[in-house]
Amino acid sequence: MSARPLAGLKVVELGQVLAGPFCGAIFADLGATVIKVEKPEGGDDARQMGPAFRDGDALIFKDFNRGKRSLALDLKTPEGVAALHGELEDADILVHNLRPGAAEGLGIGAGVVTARHPRLIYCEMGAFGHTGPLAGRPGYEPLLQAYCGLSAITGAPDGPPVRMGASVVDQGTGMWTVIAALAALAERARTGRGGVINTSLFETATMWAGQKLTAWVNQGEVPQKHTSGHPAFVPYQGFDAADGPVLVCCGNDRLFEKFARLLGRAEWVADPRFATNRARLTHQAELLPMIQALMAERPREEWLAALEAAGVPCAPINTIPELAADAQTAALGMLAQVPGADYALVPLPISFDGERPGISGPAPALGEYRQK
């Protein structure tokens, strides 16, 4: 199987900042030709989101627009819209994450475009969804993390709501859009017709909160925050060793027994407060401080070696610099050099017959693509 399975596919992307561009970057890394349509003055706002990294563009732009071609069009003019339709004549997929109503205002809404290009798969990415009382509201990553409960379930039990450090909602929406577009391609192969796909930050964030949401709806459980811990298992969290944090995951009583013996506390196995996971959940306020005191006596590497030898699931709680230097990161090729450039990016987390697609190419200069 080829590492570029979407070679021959043409995607036109009207993407801004992250969700739309990330969707386009996935397509590009998988081999599709991705034409990124940008406004002539300044282009995608992400070009200026942060200090200049290369060619005057911010690093985030270079990351989420690798492997694309840039077509500068003023879609507020009839000539710009006509040029867009020219690109769509042989395109398979259109992706946009324009503000609600913007596409319709430009005359390139789903109904108009799909009527003219019936084989096209039109992907419309919104903030709060394509229907409902908030359909017309714009939104960004932290707003949707907050609105959909993700911030409320993240952080320490006695701390404030916390935004996740990664853009899981934006990037997740890009992923769902790719999944839906590929499903629509399979349908088009049978019917000969495209269609309209709707995704949104709201729906993605709600999906990520889904386990907590269904626990509330079906069982009346109000989700609690657990820092690095877990609501159903104890001990299943981070502990501070003498020189750094370690995550220990005892997902059943057998693993807890191994952990207790390793700590020199075999008596815990018969202690009715700690003998079973349900008992440990009830008595965790007594158990966890004792574990922490013991873990603090030895350095992290000693604990990791001992835990692994005993068969207790564990991991260092790494910093980003530690992840960058890790042997597993290198072995899997999770930092890949950009072809023709002097910097590295994180490639797609998939392989085909053992081969990772890799970075398809550098991000484009504004307007470097010329139409035929």
**Residue-wise DSSP of 86-105:** HHHTT-SEEEE-PPTTHHHH
User: What does pTM read for this prediction?
Assistant: 0.93
Q: Does residue 240 share a domain with residue 197?
A: no
Q: What is the pLDDT of residues 336-363, one digit of tens each?
A: 999 999 999 999 999 999 999 989 999 9
Question: How does residue 2 score in pLDDT terms, banded at 50, 70 and 90?
Answer: confident
What average pLDDT does the chain have?
Answer: 95
Count of domains forming the chain: 2
**Domain match, 51 and 96 both:** yes
The answer to whether residues 63 and 176 belong to one domain is yes
Q: Is residue 148 part of a domain?
A: yes
User: Which structure tokens are listed for 310?
Assistant: 């005993």
In CATH, what number is assigned to the domain containing residue 85? 3.40.50.10540
- Considering the domain boundaries, does residue 170 fall inside one? yes
Are 200 and 242 within one domain? no
Question: Do 100 and 130 reside in the same domain of the chain?
Answer: yes
H or E element, residue 126: strand 121-126
Whether residues 308 and 262 share a domain: the answer is yes
Co-location of 119 and 187 in the same domain? yes
- Examine residue 52 and state whether it is found in any structural domain, yes or no: yes
Residue 250 and residue 196 in one domain: no
Is residue 322 situated within a structural domain? Answer: no
Tell me, yes or no, whether 162 and 63 share the same domain.
yes
Q: Is residue 269 part of a domain?
A: yes
For residues 176 and 291, membership in a common domain is answered with no
Instruction: Tell me, yes or no, whether 327 lies in a domain.
Output: no
Per-residue pLDDT at 370: 81
Domain span at residue 244 reads 236-316
Q: Is residue 370 part of a domain?
A: no
Task: With cut-offs at 50, 70 and 90, classify the pLDDT of residue 3.
Answer: confident
Residues annotated as catalytic are 170
Shared domain check, 245 and 109: no
Which residues contact residue 102 at a Cβ distance below 8 angstroms, ignoring those fewer than 6 apart?
Answer: none
Q: Is residue 223, in this structure, part of any structural domain at all? A: no
Q: How confident is the model at residue 227 (pLDDT cuts 50, 70, 90)?
A: confident
What are the tens digits of pLDDT across the range 229-259?
888 899 999 999 999 999 999 999 999 999 9
Task: Using DSSP, state whether 199 is helix, strand or coil.
Answer: strand
CA distance 15 to 35: 10
Q: Are residues 123 and 242 in the same domain?
A: no
Q: Percentage of residues in the chain with pLDDT exceeding 70?
A: 100
CATH code of residue 282: 3.30.1540.10
